[in-house]
Structure 1
């Protein structure tokens, strides 16, 4: 299949957005057919899964490790060794989110302009360096500055990767791939506990044990960033590992079920156009509300486990199992979501699970009911990560223009991480060890998110049925309409929401 014939096939199946052309669902299916060799497609997916996903996953693993290593270092007395007092530790956790939210969108525009394959490894070198600098910082002011720059360098990692994956995978494949990538964050929680445990066993008369933790993580981050810079492909058309047939199939797949056009020229004005649609403001509130319980679990799980009265060593070890279970739950939910091409119900399930965990922890004495409290930690991790992945996939699936998708993802992720400011401000030193106000706040935001997601999912189902009735197309779904025909997004008459 050469490129000219492929493009002719696309042109032959264009759908006019101005008028409904379909009499029934079978007409849509015939009109959107693509001549794609299944064997070539399987070969293409294998190469994407084995040569793109693993490096991205490792990159995000280092991202999560470098962001959260101060939580593990604190269990070894890092805060006392550098002279932190009162709420200074919590201020350091909080300040990270300010540049993280401010710089995510502008850096994501660079990701769209110059390719995630080049921009993200450079950012990775930056946040790896910040981890190294943390090991030699001696006071609150120095750490404050380091955490500020750490937030800048890490700000575009998640939106950049989600956008990047959407240029290789179709909508029905994206959640599971983002889930595999995002599992690195959950694995980081388990791996960081083990790494911290090993680092803290190093007995040096000259250095603190926690310094080795920062050195190991920062150095490994920079080393892998250099590899990723030269390994990751800019796009499928220039990827040296694909043959001509695979490149043609890669283009066909994305135009069929991901994007209106490929390698769309960046228009900043058009990129922000989705925010004229009220639906994106609903997604903004969903992102903001889900970020509070997510940040609470990611940043303070070691402190929550420590509140059960365990020693430093046991605290780090006992964070491993909840994070492993959380990773498994994340993968099950994202793969199930892709299999059924359904998002909203799969988001509600983990939200409800985490909500129960926060309520249980906030309503019992963790020391007197240690087993129940530890079980609640599993509920927290089982439901913390999946909503973030599935919501990001959800608005990506319903935004077929590349530039708009890059900006929408960056803004939504920034809002989700802005919630970290809420989480870090309610986890206060004076509330140790139970953190009841923080747990109650996290539960409240999780409950709000549950209501918003349920309402949005129901509205999308109603809107799709309404459009089907008006056009007389039968039970038409998002899977039946090629995305290359949806230049006007939701305003296109043939657009159907993927809910």
Structure 2
């Protein structure tokens, strides 16, 4: 049967206003999906979409932190750069990452999402490959700047893909499954760094070979992404019946699937929404320590008095802690249908406990310092739940794309500030930077509590004002924002 189109006023919306999913359903006969059918479909999606998303995010995190491992493998000595110049390399990446978020968000809405993502993966793989030929500060700075331009696409694209395929209750776990690439990236990078430190050659240094290897792997994954990751359910390799089911099961999200028409009113809606500014503050403050940890993990461990090879091996538990906390946080959030409480717990463990051990333990107490260093990796596990907020609580395709960019701009801002707290004058303990980790995480935890209170208040307000509201057929696919759709309720 044909899906009927009426907007919240009872009028037929324009073709450009509705979601592409509704246009697809208008030309298809709806078939009944049983619980067994849905479980089989979700299992199929999990095995075909999530692994590619993990591969992209794993390489995104690994590639941007390779310079961290290269630094303890002799990068500074071989290229003649100073410690402050190395800190600036971390900053340059996030400056262009930030600058490209809104342009890449616009392009992502206008172009096929998965193809755009795959193209960017290929391009940043090329940049990583060229790092093997860098001989001085100018070359490293140029390549680091370009890397930020292309990696800017990955997180917003994956958030968008997740919201296209999964229910709001399913999203935290799926975001966690691809975001766990931060942990696996750490483990792979540490093992690779250790292995290549045993490599000797008069032609290439160990860190040059490392950049060359992962650059080529990234290019290959980008090609696979362009071929196998679908741009939307409507354009996927699913059967006709499975496409309909994939769309129909997302009605309850009330966030739509895809609309290629840019709507400036939805951009305004995003920036005048109170939740946006709370999420901005929360994301910046939780990523100040993340920027420090991701760029200086190996440097901090080496500062405890370990050799370069020992540092590489001692970095592995950081990845393990990251994997456990990300998966645990995602599954817990999905099981209890609550993101905020899990975020606060992760921040308390990683930032307050881990940061305090790192900052205030005696300089000779290596076990406590290492434990604190490892626990700070728990902070990063809160970020995929912030991504999940963006996917679940923002409706209207342009508003979703805009908010994804806003979250990543905030992520960049925190990561730009973080590395700058590590100054040469504070070596080797970097005490001021470690204190910043504790303080900024505390602010993020308090802001999360305020955001939860706002969602609860807004849901109660809507229940009171719109009691007995009549449901408008197919309004789930009218590409309305969450503030326009009076039936929308926020997940906290």
Q: 1:333 aligns with which of 329, 335, 348?
A: 329
Deviations along 1:184-223, one digit per CA (max 9) or x if unpaired, are 1121011100011112221112221111111111111112
Q: 2:389 aligns with which of 367, 379, 394?
A: 394
Aligned positions of 1:233-272 closer than 5 A: 233-240=230-237, 242-260=238-256, 262-272=257-267
Work out the CA distance in 2 between the residues paired with 1:124 and 1:257: 29
Q: 1:75 aligns with which of 72, 77, 82?
A: 72
Match of 2:15 in 1: none
Work out the CA distance in 1 between the residues paired with 2:143 and 2:330: 34
Work out the CA distance in 1 between the residues paired with 2:124 and 2:244: 37
Aligned positions of 1:229-378 closer than 5 A: 229-240=226-237, 242-260=238-256, 262-273=257-268, 274-355=270-351, 356-366=353-363, 368-378=364-374
Match of 1:101 in 2: 98
Q: Is the 8 A contact 2:288 2:417 kept in 1?
A: yes
Match of 2:491 in 1: 498
Does the residue aligned with 1:130 lie in a helix, a strand or coil?
helix
Q: TM-score, normalised by structure 1?
A: 0.89
Q: Is the 8 A contact 1:486 1:494 kept in 2?
A: no
Q: TM-score, normalised by structure 2?
A: 0.90
Q: Is the 8 A contact 1:62 1:221 kept in 2?
A: yes
The Cα shift of 1:389 comes to 0.6
Does the residue aligned with 2:249 lie in a helix, a strand or coil?
helix
Deviations along 1:228-284, one digit per CA (max 9) or x if unpaired, are 2111111111212x1122111111122222524x43132141341211222211211
Work out the CA distance in 2 between the residues paired with 1:492 and 1:165: 21
Deviations along 1:461-490, one digit per CA (max 9) or x if unpaired, are 23323433444579xxxxxx9844782422
Residue 193 (1) aligns with residue 186 (2) = no
The Cα shift of 1:418 comes to 1.6
Match of 1:411 in 2: 406
Deviations along 1:338-366, one digit per CA (max 9) or x if unpaired, are 12221111111111112221122111233
Work out the CA distance in 2 between the residues paired with 1:486 and 1:233: 21
Residue range with higher mean Cα deviation, 264-273 or 410-419: 264-273
Q: Is the 8 A contact 1:297 1:384 kept in 2?
A: no
> 1:486–1:146: structure 2 CA closer, same or farther, 3 Å change rule?
closer
Deviations along 1:317-352, one digit per CA (max 9) or x if unpaired, are 111112212211110111111122211111111111
Q: Is the 8 A contact 1:118 1:229 kept in 2?
A: yes
Q: 1:221 aligns with which of 213, 218, 221?
A: 218
Q: Is the 8 A contact 2:396 2:480 kept in 1?
A: yes
The root-mean-square deviation of aligned C-alpha atoms, in Å, is 2.1
Q: Is the 8 A contact 1:360 1:376 kept in 2?
A: yes
Residue 38 (1) aligns with residue 40 (2) = no
Residue 138 (1) aligns with residue 135 (2) = yes
Deviations along 1:374-403, one digit per CA (max 9) or x if unpaired, are 11122111x222211101111321112122
Residue 438 (1) aligns with residue 443 (2) = no
> 1:238–1:113: structure 2 CA closer, same or farther, 3 Å change rule?
same
Q: Is the 8 A contact 1:170 1:253 kept in 2?
A: yes
Work out the CA distance in 2 between the residues paired with 1:226 and 1:465: 47
Work out the CA distance in 2 between the residues paired with 1:360 and 1:473: 53
Match of 2:158 in 1: 161
Match of 1:30 in 2: none
Q: Is the 8 A contact 1:256 1:484 kept in 2?
A: no
Q: Is the 8 A contact 2:287 2:414 kept in 1?
A: yes
Does the residue aligned with 1:324 lie in a helix, a strand or coil?
helix
Match of 1:171 in 2: 168
Work out the CA distance in 1 between the residues paired with 2:398 and 2:8: 22
Work out the CA distance in 1 between the residues paired with 2:161 and 2:484: 25
Structure 2 unaligned spans of 5+ = 11-30
Match of 2:480 in 1: 487
Q: Is the 8 A contact 1:17 1:485 kept in 2?
A: no
Deviations along 1:408-428, one digit per CA (max 9) or x if unpaired, are 111211111121111111111
Does the residue aligned with 2:265 lie in a helix, a strand or coil?
helix
Work out the CA distance in 2 between the residues paired with 1:389 and 1:17: 36
Does the residue aligned with 1:493 lie in a helix, a strand or coil?
coil
Aligned residues: 466
Q: 1:53 aligns with which of 32, 39, 50?
A: 50
Residue 379 (1) aligns with residue 375 (2) = yes
Q: Is the 8 A contact 2:183 2:318 kept in 1?
A: no
